[in-house]
Structure 1
Amino acid sequence: MARPKTGFGTLAAIAAVPAALLAGFAWAGGWIGPARTSGGGVANALEYNAGKHPGYRRAHAKGLCFTGRFDANGAGAALSKAGIFATGSYPVIGRFSTGGGNPFATDGRNVFHAMALQLTAPDGQIWRMALDHTPIFPVATPEAFVALQRATRPDPATGKPDPAVMKAYLAKHPETKAYQDYLAKAPLPGSFANGTYYSINAFRFIDPAGGAHAVRWSFVPEAPLTELDKAKLADLPTDYLFDEIQARLAHGPARWHMIVTLAAPGDTTNNATIAWPAGRRTVEAGVLTIDRAGAEEQGACRDITFDPTILPDGVALSDDPILGARAGTYAASFRRRAAEGPGPSAVGKAPAKGK
């Protein structure tokens, strides 16, 4: 039998496959295309802002491990084929933290509270989340994040950023001013247990038929909101929030309902400083229960990077540029911590001298 002829077009198409793959790897590595901020560059900016604290995370430095479970009700399975949405109960490892890179900072600050999660499906697929109690982010790009860290570096003499530097930064970044205004007016939860935590960035859910849905999600607490008095934050004990959640969990678990919000046509997915309008369709996908918390050196979360780009099949990244930078930054921070030797939990320790 004669061998079929291979046309030039076919050969060209075959040759184009590895070329396309190589181009994709080159773009992902930053070797081609526009210059991008590296994860190491972001980590450097965080160290510039908060100082170096060997053995600790470069962001969300002060934290506490917890364990629990996620009970899926099956409603999310219509939106995503991720196994975690099938009706059932799945183990969770997580971490509560406060904003900033100083592990010895006092809890008496008007900063965001955070909850990080690792959910594991029966087939071993892992989903990691990094959630804040604010629905928006202060910047839209990695470059702006680096500039923000440099602008907000505290002056050792005053403990506050240089007003002139900050003024110049805010003139170029009105989105950060909007975030500051939001944080100044919004209630500051009096416990990790009664704050609502948001994905902030948009993601895509891929349903069983292959359809894609732009989404954000939140975890809404069952505990009623109590507020900290912002005028009296300086009077709070250094570890107020961390001591409170441990005492609370000693008397019973804390619960949150996972609410998935679907974007409407035209909603922004590539800018985490812009909240979606109220009234979007929502789906309750299950209940998160946290029943135990403890120091990081005894907890399972210490060596986990809660990189929100580690996703199961059925959940995908959006076009938000912050996400790729977060992945690189988490990796850079972990490498540095690993080389330094992980630091012990800062909760319950005296603040570092001068901090």
Structure 2
Amino acid sequence: MAKTFDYLNKVLRASQAGWASPSLLLRYAIIVVAIGGISFAYAFSAGWVGWPVHRAPLSATRVVNAFESVTGPHPGFRRNHAKGICVTGRFESNGAGAALSRAHVFAPGVIPVVGRFSVPGTNPTVGDGESRLRSFALRLAVPDGEEWRMAMNSAPIFSVRTPDEFVAELAAHRVDKGTGKPDPARIAAFEEQHPEARAFRDWTRAHPASSGFDNAAYYSVSAFRFVKADGTSHYVRWSMVPEAAYQPVEAMQRRDPDFLAHRLVKTLGSGPLRWHLVLAVAQPGDAINDATRVWPQTSNRERIDAGTLVIDRAEAQIDGPCRNIDFDPLILPAGIEPSADPLLAARSATYMESFYRRMSEEVRYASKR
């Protein structure tokens, strides 16, 4: 899949450079044709087509439709994490991660990074104070041509275990047209049937949202299989641990609907921000394929600080470097493999469907100009 997206990104860059035609519409059309031409291969590699009927996973179309039903469609924006800001920087690997994986990203050295901070949700105009979570997506461009893409949240667990349950959860949180808010009774009924969703809600209430993007820790949520050069492997969950001290969001901040981006830009004006990539190794009894279950914070768990992420620049998502990046968590370098967590394949195909829709919408918008 990394090679497929390498090709797509080349087409995107080439079309933006204008090699095909001076016509903006034609350049957008080339993008859509390229996406359409690889969509089947992408879905097949993610396990979403070519399955027997009794094993077929939930379609990406249905998941994205469920996102759109929450607050209505917002053309041109991501179907989840619609509101965000691009960032760039570097990852300074200290070489310690090589104890768990042969991925070149863990060799000592510096790797350029493009990322995106965001808040969960489908509405690009939502006030920052309404979210209990922060999200952080990254693309690490490894020197050998491979990539490692991450999509992390500020909670170490997810609210449901399967894609079907996630669609049901989105339906439960659908905004009522009369009140402009979700129906509490409908949410309560869903949580009654899915106690893991209630546990997730309780976790977020016990851990108030951070006052900024810069002082939150971010988690892989799902486990991944790290493979060493000799073929031995371990399951790992990772986190980005900030050097900035955590502070909960304050009531005064909530008055500014865009305080997260404003704080980020202001803070970067004083210097770069840093996080440490910490790899936590699974122990016997840890949930490998269930993102709703937290790994206990045992004192004897192996943890490796693999290096420092440095972010030194922020740009608007409308034309910033993260604009056309699909932060698919299954785009992995050799030496890192997905677990059997059912959410991973679902997220991969759903991200692609969202990407395809917003690129298509840009073509339609350009055609009317």
Q: Check whether the contact 1:56–1:343 (CA below 8 A) recurs between aligned residues.
A: no
| 1:155 aligned partner | 176
Does residue 101 in structure 1 map to residue 122 in structure 2? yes
1:302 aligns with 2:332: no
User: Counterparts of 1:132 and 1:333 in 2: how far apart (Å)?
Assistant: 19
- 2:57 match: secondary structure: coil
Matched residue, 1:284: 305
TM-score (ref. length: structure 1): 0.86
Where does the alignment leave 5 or more consecutive residues of structure 1 unmatched? 1-23, 345-355
Equivalent position of 2:69 in the other structure? 48
User: Are the equivalent residues in 2 in contact too, given 1:107–1:241 (CA < 8 A)?
Assistant: yes
Give CA-to-partner distance per residue, 1:134-170, whole Å, 9 cap, x none: 1111111000100000000111222322233222211
1:187-219, Cα deviation, whole Å (9 max, x unpaired): 210010000000000101011111111000000
Residue 265 of structure 1: aligned partner: 284
- 1:36 aligned partner, one-letter code: P
- State the one-letter code of the partner of 2:61: G
- C-alpha separation in 1, matches of 2:155 and 2:260: 17
2:201 to 165, 171, 180: 180
In structure 2, distance between residues paired with 1:51 and 1:111: 21
The 8 Å contact of residues 220 and 238 in structure 2, kept in 1 or not, is answered as yes
Describe the SS at the equivalent of 2:292: coil
Return the letter of the residue paired with 2:100. L
For residue 49 of structure 2, the aligned residue among 19, 23, 29 is 29
Give the CA deviation at 1:296. Answer: 1.4
Alignment of 1:1-355 (within 5 A): 28-32=48-52, 33-229=54-250, 232=251, 235-279=254-298, 280-341=301-362
Amino acid at match of 1:249: L
Residues in 2 aligned to 1:192 and 1:90: alpha-carbon distance in whole angstroms: 22
Offset, 1:121: 1.0
Q: The residue matched to 1:44 in structure 2 has which SS? A: helix
CA RMSD of aligned residues (A): 1.9
Contact 1:72–1:286 (8 Å) recurs in 2: yes
Q: Give the drift of 1:329.
A: 0.3
Larger radius of gyration between Structure 1 and Structure 2: 1
Contact 1:108 1:233 in 2 (8 A): no
SS in 2 for 1:148: helix
The answer (yes or no) to whether the contact 1:107–1:236 under 8 Å persists in 2 is no
Structure 1 runs (4+) greater than 3 angstroms displaced: 24-28
Contact 1:109 1:233 in 2 (8 A): no
Specify the SS of the correspondent of 1:224. coil
How far off its partner does 1:39 sit? 1.2
CA contact (8 A) 1:82 1:315 kept: yes
CA distance 1:156–1:203, shift in 2 (3 Å): same
Identify unmatched segments of 5+ residues in structure 2. 1-43
CA shift, 1:35, in A, is 3.4
Aligned mates of 1:26, 1:244 — CA distance in 2: 37
Give the distance between the partners of 1:109 and 1:27, measured in 2 at CA.
35
CA contact (8 A) 1:196 1:220 kept: yes
Return the offset for 1:91: 0.2
Q: Judging changes above 3 Å, is the alpha-carbon distance between structure 1 residues 234 and 161 closer, same or farther for their aligned structure 2 residues?
A: farther
SS at match of 1:95: strand
Secondary structure at the aligned position of 2:144 is classed as: coil
Question: Normalization by structure 2: what TM-score?
Answer: 0.83
Secondary structure of 1:29's aligned partner: coil
Q: Deviations over 1:7-53 (max 9, x none)?
A: xxxxxxxxxxxxxxxxx979651531423211111101000112100
How has the CA–CA distance of structure 1 residues 76 and 44 changed in structure 2, closer, same or farther, with 3 Å as cutoff?
Answer: same
**Given that residues 30 and 36 in structure 1 are in contact (C-alpha distance below 8 angstroms), is that contact kept between their aligned partners in structure 2?**
no
1:332 Cα deviation after fit = 0.2
Shifted more, 40-49 versus 149-158: the winner is: 149-158
After superposition, the Cα gap between the structure-2 partners of 1:343 and 1:55, relative to the gap in structure 1 and judged at 3 Å, is: farther
